Amino acid sequence: MCGIVAYIGPKDATAFLLEGLARLEYRGYDSAGVAVTGKSGGLKVCKAKGRVADLAAAVPARFKGTTGIGHTRWATHGEPSDANAHPHTDNAGNIAVVHNGIIENAEELRARLTADGAVFHSETDTEVLAHLVAAHTGEDTELEEAVRAALKHVVGTYGIAVVDARRPDRIVVARNGSPIVLGLGEKEMFAASDVSALVRYTRQVVHLEDGELAVVRADGFRTFTEDARTVTRQPSTVDWEVGAFDTGGYEHYLLKEIHEQPAAVERTLSGRLDERFATAHLGGLNLDARELREIRRVKILGCGSAYYAGEMGAQLIEELARIPAHSEPASEFRYRNPVIEADTLYVAVSQSGETYDTLAAVQEIKRKGGRVLGVVNTVGSAIARECDGGIYLHAGPEISVASTKAFTSTVIAFALLALHFGRIHDLSPADGRRIVGALKALPGHIRQILEQQDAIAKLAAEYADNAGMMFIGRVRGYPVAREGAQKLKEISYVHAEAYPASELKHGPLALISPELPTVALVPDDELLDKNLTTLGEIKARSGRVLAIAHREPDAKLADHCIVVPKSEPELDPLLLNIPLQLLAYHAAVALGRDVDKPRNLAKSVTVE
């Protein structure tokens, strides 16, 4: 979604702003803009609909300043256009604002400001902020005071950065529901909505909390609350490598991230397997064995693929620990006045740690006294900070909009949690060893699947031609089918529907025809015979079948098959999912889609 960058220091701000915006492109956007100022005074603003490259081409040669802000916009109020792109300025052209989030009372503020003489040039909610800050600025008012006073009138969510050409020695940033991170440099300071814009310049970062503001100068910063109370924030170190933000020679980030999975899984497992007691060490849970024994139920919450990873997690917890577990979309949970139980463990899943619906669900649980763990990739993110404890994925940054390596690492984190839980309950040491051994073998198994990429690419090109595809799986296979269908539709725009294999004959069998092929998950487990019967039912209706299986079914039951290595039954779903990622990727490539930035989607959905 929208991205913010800001710079203050001795160097030319514009170069950093354009480079930082390019780093944020993966989040999805439709226009971009920058504003700079400096000691020589005056505010320069340049905005362009389209790509950051279009903006860079539009920036005049003499567009220089030592203090600046930049933005990539994903339209919410008003169409994508030069006028609606940020930064927005006040009438006098002194103040410039960039904003992520939504101002809910924008119309009311706009009417009031217009009555007081403000002239609006865009349809955005953000422009009211520029006029509002100007309305609170006087000869002797510090910029930070004006911003703080302006925000008192605002209802909604925001991450903002503000500059004033009359005070080029500072940038003011504020956060309420939309992330802002400060980057600490040597005699220079940065700010952004996402650390990926900063890591090339600094690893020392400070995450603002909701309701906080900061005044940022070249030599430091001060953080304070909406009621002007100074708060002290210690910097933390980002451990992501700069190279992790490049495509590394792959054609797309998505392909790189699919291929990074063996290493990502190794990192998620690193230091967490206890072979002696055949269990997992999860230091960040902040729950001892006695507290864990008191848990009667596990409720997992996430959105999109994080929710499907949670479904696989719930299955693992039920199977290994025999504790009832269920995954629900956080976006639904937060609106239904959920009953929060003292003996339920709530687990929030989020790659970005910034998804607004998931964050709101966590806040609702905590407000009602529930205990929440986070399964999160981004260290220090809002959800990670809001939770009582959790498991970091350490999968490395995920740039492509579609989640792949974070999905896989999330399932690994759940396998560790289920193993830990299981060994506290009734999972035998022998079964614990069985799972530990299987987890250690997973990176090798994933590599074996990735080696089949060329064959999968051929199949993808063949199946991509259809208007739609059915994905089916039974019990453990059903979340795999859901995630497979999600991946295909989001990046290839081919319609895909997922069904439990057992439900096919209760309705969707009517759809089966040569024009609607089925991707069937057919693991070699206790349900194999049932799955083969379902394949027979599809073939009897002239449906085409692509099986993902541990051994090739009879040619009468499947037209094609991708064979995956066998793990333990509880962990098989994770491996069955990998070919579906490659299938979706190659289908999208065959159809000429914008693989890393699919239309209408953003990497992290930080608005309601």
Which residues are catalytically annotated?
A: 2, 603
CA distances from 164 to 67, 84, 449 (A): 10, 20, 55
Residue 283 one-letter amino acid: G
- Least spacing, CB of residue 363 vs ligand F6R, in Å: 15
Q: How far is 513 from 390, CA to CA, in rounded Å? A: 46
Residue 14 one-letter amino acid: T
Query: Considering the rule CB under 6 A, would residue 67 count as an interface residue with ligand F6R?
Result: no
Per-residue interface string for the shown chain with ligand F6R, residues 393-422, x marking contact by CB under 6 A:
---------xx-------------------
> Of 307 and 421, which has the nearer Cβ to ligand F6R?
307
- Least spacing, CB of residue 557 vs ligand F6R, in Å: 30
> Of 308 and 478, which has the nearer Cβ to ligand F6R?
308
Cis bond upstream, residue 87 (ω within 30) = yes
- Least spacing, CB of residue 56 vs ligand F6R, in Å: 28
- Least spacing, CB of residue 295 vs ligand F6R, in Å: 24
Instruction: Choose which of 135, 147, 306, 475 interacts with ligand F6R (CB under 6 A).
Output: 306
- Least spacing, CB of residue 565 vs ligand F6R, in Å: 24
Retrieve residue 303's tokens.
């959105």
- Least spacing, CB of residue 608 vs ligand F6R, in Å: 13
- Least spacing, CB of residue 313 vs ligand F6R, in Å: 13
> Of 198 and 309, which has the nearer Cβ to ligand F6R?
309
Number of other residues whose CB lies within 10 A of the CB of residue 503: 13
Check: CB of residue 112 under 8 Å from CB of residue 103: no
Residue 346 one-letter amino acid: Y
List the alpha helices (DSSP H) in 67-201: 106-115, 127-135, 143-151
The residue number with the shortest CB distance to ligand F6R is 304
Q: Is 35 helix (H, G, I), strand (E, B) or coil?
A: strand
Residue 340 one-letter amino acid: I
Check: CB of residue 316 under 8 Å from CB of residue 271: no
Phi, psi of 345 (to 5 degrees): -100, 125
Span from 109-117, 297-305, 416-424, 562-570 in contact with ligand F6R (CB under 6 A)? 297-305
Judged by CB under 6 A, the chain residues 524 through 563 that form the site for ligand F6R are none
Query: Considering the rule CB under 6 A, would residue 303 count as an interface residue with ligand F6R?
Result: yes
Buried b (16+ CB within 10 A) or exposed e, 389-406: ebbbbbbbbbbbbbbbbb
Instruction: Choose which of 37, 67, 202, 305 interacts with ligand F6R (CB under 6 A).
Output: 305
Residue 5 one-letter amino acid: V
List the alpha helices (DSSP H) in 194-304: 253-259, 261-269, 289-293
> Of 89 and 403, which has the nearer Cβ to ligand F6R?
403
Q: How far is 272 from 468, CA to CA, in rounded Å? A: 41
Per-residue interface string for the shown chain with ligand F6R, residues 479-498, x marking contact by CB under 6 A:
-------x---x--------
Q: By C-alpha distance, which of 128, 127, 224 is closest to 173?
A: 224
- Least spacing, CB of residue 381 vs ligand F6R, in Å: 9
Max CA pair span of the chain: 83
Span from 89-97, 273-281, 345-353, 387-395 in contact with ligand F6R (CB under 6 A)? 345-353
Number of other residues whose CB lies within 10 A of the CB of residue 228: 11
Per-residue interface string for the shown chain with ligand F6R, residues 447-486, x marking contact by CB under 6 A:
---------------------------------------x
Span from 47-55, 285-293, 351-359, 433-441 in contact with ligand F6R (CB under 6 A)? 351-359
> Of 67 and 486, which has the nearer Cβ to ligand F6R?
486
Per-residue interface string for the shown chain with ligand F6R, residues 588-607, x marking contact by CB under 6 A:
----------------xx--
Span from 113-121, 224-232, 304-312, 384-392 in contact with ligand F6R (CB under 6 A)? 304-312
Instruction: Choose which of 355, 409, 534, 577 interacts with ligand F6R (CB under 6 A).
Output: 355
| DSSP state, residue 197 | G
In DSSP terms, 392 is beta-bridged to: 376
Residue 517 one-letter amino acid: P
Q: By C-alpha distance, which of 15, 35, 159 is closest to 94?
A: 35
How many residues line the site for ligand F6R (CB under 6 A)?
15
Is beta strand 212-217 parallel, antiparallel or unpaired with respect to 545-549? unpaired
Query: Considering the rule CB under 6 A, would residue 84 count as an interface residue with ligand F6R?
Result: no
In DSSP terms, 48 is beta-bridged to: 32
Span from 34-42, 247-255, 302-310, 566-574 in contact with ligand F6R (CB under 6 A)? 302-310
* Site of interaction with ligand F6R (CB under 6 A): 303-306, 350-352, 355, 358, 402-403, 486, 490, 604-605
